Structure 1
């Protein structure tokens, strides 16, 4: 699956480099290595602590997923992916750091790298599975599992995103370890099929049953190093080792993810010893809080993230159905001031100028750099579109005022501050903005898919190192009866001429041509301003002294991508 939305900083998936718009230096630091003020400073990564066998860890989790049916629309939260899916669902390709780039590599599920060939205009992919790969009940992971997964996504209703799977013409299974997938047309992002986002599901358990009913509240099967022992709604998720896993077994006996939605509260719990690790949303005081812990905490800041924070404008709702209003809105906001205020302590100064995250920035352009505060341009655009300011200084047209509501995550101090700054800036420009925040489950389970919002403030997360703008910007990705309410173009975006360009990006197998077409798509997007990027947000991992093993953040699979290698430090 290409992209994921997230109400908190660290979330997928409605999916999405040298870095565009903002430049971080990848760094790892201890709390004691920070400077006395200003941005965090780089330091050498400390040696990984050796671990002992057994024991348990408790990790603070800022977001509880709505459900664990990863291919359904309810499975949109990246936190669910990080905590449960990555640990239990096998995938064809893993994303690993090779040199300076995060690159897809064949996983331990495969006996060899999948092969690709073109048969006329069709693309044929052959997958060969490792016969040692088994599910947690001892049953082999088979080619039938790939077929089941492919058809569930392609033909299912209320699927989070069908990109790539909607091109599948057939899936053949000549034997139990070989699957041959034929696509109707070439697909440049073919390596994400059965990989990040969806993976492979067990047909012998799910076939003939209601997949959503079996999986949504947690499931007992696993094809990864961990199993879900329990999901106590509103409290925690607990993992235990999968003793049938064919790869390296976990060192730990148990890992519990405890839900605490407030970053400051989570940091305080970490400081008191309740949590052994955090993956905190970068808040205003997070660096200072961690710095105050001295040597009791180790913090790693990873710039090559897939996280992009943006203002998502509903193009199907007044007043943002007007391109002129959207452009005037963009010229009325000082994005640089917002970014500096929110993320200056992390070294971030400049706003993002693209809807592609650092993970895929080689495909990006800087088209949004033109949108800086310019009151004259904003007024010119509004007046040319028939608007006039009323006695209270608010733009009005045909008896309607330029007023709207913004929606984001309730209780998130960083988001609330962003909204307050926006409210002040926009009021001066003649827009009236009301704040009405809610839960992630309500945003991504109800409001966004139904288009029941005007402006949203949330993140989009690239879930694979390939450009997937079409997942969020193609008109065919608008949830509707035509696509069984699938797709993540919640903004109802329809930009003239954009769909065919993004289709070429998706189809093109030549890397140079993909980059060229991706930048053409970005220009069309920037010209129309269907939404407005704010910042490429780094990943932050905080661990305590009890935690050992190789600790790092994978921009696709998250901070616990190698949880089986974690342990209690000796």
Structure 2
């Protein structure tokens, strides 16, 4: 999806900035054999992109991680599989996957971290051990390296490719995230100022299609009205505004190009201090009026999913969870 810097600005999700950089086949490991890549707008002068809110941490496996955290680290680290723009899981770090009675065995493609070290099965195991929901890696009950580039994952999943594509970045040694650190995605984190911005520059050891932008500044905007004003004035090249009433009409009136992309918003209920047993917590979960949440947050812009792995199509959001009956009209 191209930017249109002349006249109008384009609103799109941050993930789209690097979607074209996600390899779908085994990538050559030699620098001179890199594919030419797909043009990402901005060039040497860079792109200024706005997101609503702020990220307390960029460590996706920190207890403080949010949905925005996972969005911001997506250009920085690979995952075994990754959802494409249509919601289909595509191989990324995984070269092959063989499902077994107990789980799945993964063979990794040849790839390196930004410091030149090889990405290994031990990095996958270390990341699995740190992962908590909503990461798909949390569905893995046990992980072990069975070779430098082979890993065995055991657990319960009805679709391992979807599970391993869900908020599941692989970190070097499972470690944290900080500017000047080690990265494995198309970009590296140049700087991070909480409450202000995160700055991305290309990772010279990235093993996929080469991004064409030398600089991306992701600025944290605290209010939708401020975001729209920054877009209209040209101080932002693009942004990811949340769904809101009459948003499309407001963008059209401001002369801003816009489109929708597949994504999700998560609501988490913290019951740690509620002194409830498992039965009590299950009762709270059953009592939540998900239809009211759908009317209040999703409206006509999406669907209430009954699976952790929703995808495109009329039935791809359906799963094993109970869907409450809709009231008669």
Q: Same fold (TM over 0.5)?
A: yes
Q: Secondary structure at the match of 2:259?
A: strand
Residue 369, structure 1, aligned to residue 325, structure 2:
yes
Residues 56 and 246 of structure 1: CA distance in aligned 2, closer, same or farther (over 3 Å)? same
2:144 to 161, 171, 174: 171
Structure 2: how far apart are the matches of 1:311 and 1:243?
37
Q: Secondary structure at the match of 1:113?
A: strand
Residues 165 and 363 of structure 1: CA distance in aligned 2, closer, same or farther (over 3 Å)? closer
Give a deviation string over 1:131-158, Cα, whole Å, max 9, x none. 2x111011111122122223344xxxxx
> What residue in structure 2 maps to residue 140 of structure 1?
118
Residue 266, structure 1, aligned to residue 245, structure 2:
no
Give a deviation string over 1:149-174, Cα, whole Å, max 9, x none. 23344xxxxx4557665654451333
Residue 298, structure 1, aligned to residue 257, structure 2:
yes
Is the contact made by 1:145 and 1:200 (CA closer than 8 Å) also made in structure 2? yes
Structure (1 or 2) with the greater helix fraction: 1
Residue 128, structure 1, aligned to residue 107, structure 2:
yes
2:81 to 93, 108, 117: 93
Give a deviation string over 1:467-507, Cα, whole Å, max 9, x none. xxxxxxxxxxxxxxxxxxxxxxxxxxxxxxxxxxxxxxxxx
2:157 to 158, 171, 187: 187
Structure 2: how far apart are the matches of 1:241 and 1:66?
23
Is the contact made by 2:124 and 2:171 (CA closer than 8 Å) also made in structure 1? yes
Residue 65, structure 1, aligned to residue 43, structure 2:
no
Structure 1: how far apart are the matches of 2:259 and 2:209?
25
Unaligned ranges ≥5, structure 1: 1-30, 33-47, 154-158, 374-570
Q: Secondary structure at the match of 2:59?
A: coil
Unaligned ranges ≥5, structure 2: 1-6, 9-37
TM-score by length of 2: 0.70
Q: CA shift at 1:201, angstroms?
A: 1.7
Q: Secondary structure at the match of 2:96?
A: coil
Number of residue equivalences: 284
TM-score by length of 1: 0.43
Q: CA shift at 1:199, angstroms?
A: 2.1
Give a deviation string over 1:13-65, Cα, whole Å, max 9, x none. xxxxxxxxxxxxxxxxxx99xxxxxxxxxxxxxxx998574221101111211
Q: CA shift at 1:311, angstroms?
A: 9.9
Q: CA shift at 1:71, angstroms?
A: 1.4
Give the structure with higher Rg (CA). Answer: 1
